[in-house]
């Protein structure tokens, strides 16, 4: 019997919640990632207890409970050690492609069957003993992301599963994408239009944060899924970008990868936050400007570095040798001259002073941020600028 040995199994708050419930199994990402020696993820617990009973038992043990998704049987236990999601075993009975109507069950095999992929339907008891009703373990070992049941039927129940298929393939899949699953995604790609853009956005964030999402995105492209979500996008330079990131050891940034698919404002399609939208717009502007040093000075290192990487990937070339040091220096540079310095040197406050300051800033940027205050003041008077 396979047994998990993860440290989280014995964390006091995990034990406390399981003790309170009396019966519960770990399931989903936490079990899958533990079996892969992957990163810890949030802990989901499945239980045959009905939601009311879950709430009653947790409260009886003095644990704070929030009914986060009561309609589909989920409550969240909040403890000092962390939060855990507890969901009653389910059997999905009907669905409109976006939202399943649920029936609760006390049968682990039924609960497994309503999940999306075999590798996400592996359970573990509190000792870590693996319970695997659908043989997800062998798919996991072979890194095969496989729908439970008939792929097209499962997608018709919930079109988000199309995006989850590619996301899990990017994170946990092997070199080959499951052909039957891919064909069903291609056939039903239209259904993606019915999804809330926000959910599509979260899937893209996670997909593009995988170490190498390029093969999965290429599969999304050939199946028509990519264009359905991001009109005008193409996966062309993503693989080159990922390769550059690896070569240059730059940290993964999903936003840079998104722009490698198309230098557009994707905020509508992905319901991005204001901050994300502003970042993307700044990177697109920087690419158009084509002056990374200036961008780093005005908009910071991250924006400039993204622009450099996207341009390099698009042109299939390496960025110039010391780009990082140059951008870091530019981002940290502080203009040594202030209006007060000019006033102290005899200038009258007013538009002319502003102009002179801007002129001095251009000279300073041109010097590679090296000129000091005295030099800049001197250069202003050398150029014929005089205090008025
Ligand atoms: P992550 O590491 O991203 O949290 P996860 O596998 O835990 O991965 P969740 O979205 O947290 O993913 O979902 C938890 C589990 O619930 C999944 O492993 C899967 O068994 C089930 N699940 C989630 N979303 C769906 C869905 N749309 N259709 C079917 N089952 C789903
Ligand atoms: Mg999870």
Q: What percent of the chain has pLDDT over 70?
A: 96
Contacts of 138 (CB under 8 A, 6+ apart): none
Pocket test for ligand 1, best of 41, 84, 114, 120 (most atoms within 8 A of CB): 120
157 lines ligand 1 (CB under 6 A): no
Q: What percent of the chain has pLDDT over 90?
A: 81
Which atom number of ligand 1 is nearest to the Cα of residue 167? Answer: 3
Is a pLDDT exceeding 60 seen at residue 69? yes
| Distance linking the first and last C-alpha atoms of the chain | 87
In the block, tokens 């970042």 appear at: 279
Better-scored residue on pLDDT, 5 or 199: 199
Is a pLDDT exceeding 60 seen at residue 388? no
Which atom number of ligand 1 is nearest to the Cα of residue 30? Answer: 7
Which ligand has its closest atom nearest to the C-alpha of 98? 1
28 lines ligand 1 (CB under 6 A): yes
Under 8 Å between Cβ of 280 and 263: no
Per-residue model confidence (pLDDT) at position 380: 83
What does the pLDDT average to over 13-20? 97
Tokens standing for residue 272: 């991005």
Contacts of 62 (CB under 8 A, 6+ apart): none
Per-residue model confidence (pLDDT) at position 385: 59
Per-residue model confidence (pLDDT) at position 346: 86
String of DSSP letters for 326-359 = HHHHHHH------HHHHHHTTPPSSHHHHHHHHH
Give pTM, 2 decimals. Answer: 0.92
* Tens-digit pLDDT profile for residues 152-209: 999 999 999 999 999 999 999 999 999 999 999 999 999 999 999 999 999 999 999 9
Contacts of 57 (CB under 8 A, 6+ apart): 20, 21, 22, 49
Pocket test for ligand 1, best of 35, 115, 203 (most atoms within 8 A of CB): 115
Per-residue model confidence (pLDDT) at position 251: 96
Per-residue model confidence (pLDDT) at position 38: 78
Confidence of residue 387 (pLDDT cuts 50, 70, 90): low
41 lines ligand 1 (CB under 6 A): yes
Q: What is the chain's mean pLDDT, rounded?
A: 93
What does the pLDDT average to over 305-316? 94
29 lines ligand 1 (CB under 6 A): yes
């Amino acid at each position: 019997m396979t047994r998990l040995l993860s440290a989280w199994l014995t964390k006091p708050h995990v034990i406390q919640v399981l003790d309170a419930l009396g019966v519960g199994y770990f399931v989903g990402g936490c079990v899958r990632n533990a079996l892969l020696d992957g990163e810890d993820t949030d802990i989901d617990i499945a239980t045959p207890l009905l939601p009311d009973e879950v709430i009653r038992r947790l409260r009886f043990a003095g644990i704070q409970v929030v009914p986060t998704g009561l309609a589909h049987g989920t409550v969240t236990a909040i403890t000092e050690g962390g939060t855990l999601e507890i969901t009653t075993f389910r059997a999905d009975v009907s669905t409109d492609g976006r939202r399943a109507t649920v029936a609760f069950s006390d049968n682990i095999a039924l609960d497994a069957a309503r999940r999306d992929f075999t590798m996400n339907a592996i359970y573990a008891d509190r000792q870590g003993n693996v319970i695997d009703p659908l043989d997800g373990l062998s798919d996991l070992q072979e890194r095969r992301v496989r729908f439970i049941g008939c792929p097209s039927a499962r997608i018709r129940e919930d079109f988000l599963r199309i995006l989850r298929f590619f996301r899990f393939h990017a994170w946990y899949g092997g070199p080959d994408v499951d052909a039957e699953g891919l064909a069903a995604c291609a056939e039903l790609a239209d259904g993606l239009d019915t999804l809330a853009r926000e959910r599509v956005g979260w899937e893209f964030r996670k997909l593009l944060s995988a170490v190498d999402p390029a093969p999965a995105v290429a599969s999304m492209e050939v199946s028509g899924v990519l264009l359905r979500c991001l009109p005008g996008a193409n996966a062309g330079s993503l693989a080159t970008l990922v390769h550059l990131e690896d070569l240059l050891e730059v940290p993964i940034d999903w936003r840079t990868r998104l722009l490698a698919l198309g230098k557009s404002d994707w905020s509508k399609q992905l319901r991005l936050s204001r901050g994300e939208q502003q970042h993307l717009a700044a990177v697109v502007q920087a690419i158009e400007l084509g002056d990374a040093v200036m961008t780093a000075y005005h908009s910071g290192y991250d924006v400039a570095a993204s622009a450099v990487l996207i341009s390099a990937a698009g042109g299939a070339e390496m960025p110039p040798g010391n780009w990082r040091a140059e951008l870091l220096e530019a981002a940290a540079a502080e203009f040594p001259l202030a209006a007060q310095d000019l006033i102290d040197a005899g200038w009258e406050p007013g538009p002319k002073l502003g102009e002179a300051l801007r002129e001095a800033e251009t000279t300073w940027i041109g010097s590679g941020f090296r000129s000091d205050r005295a030099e800049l003041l001197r250069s202003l008077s050398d150029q014929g600028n005089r205090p008025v």
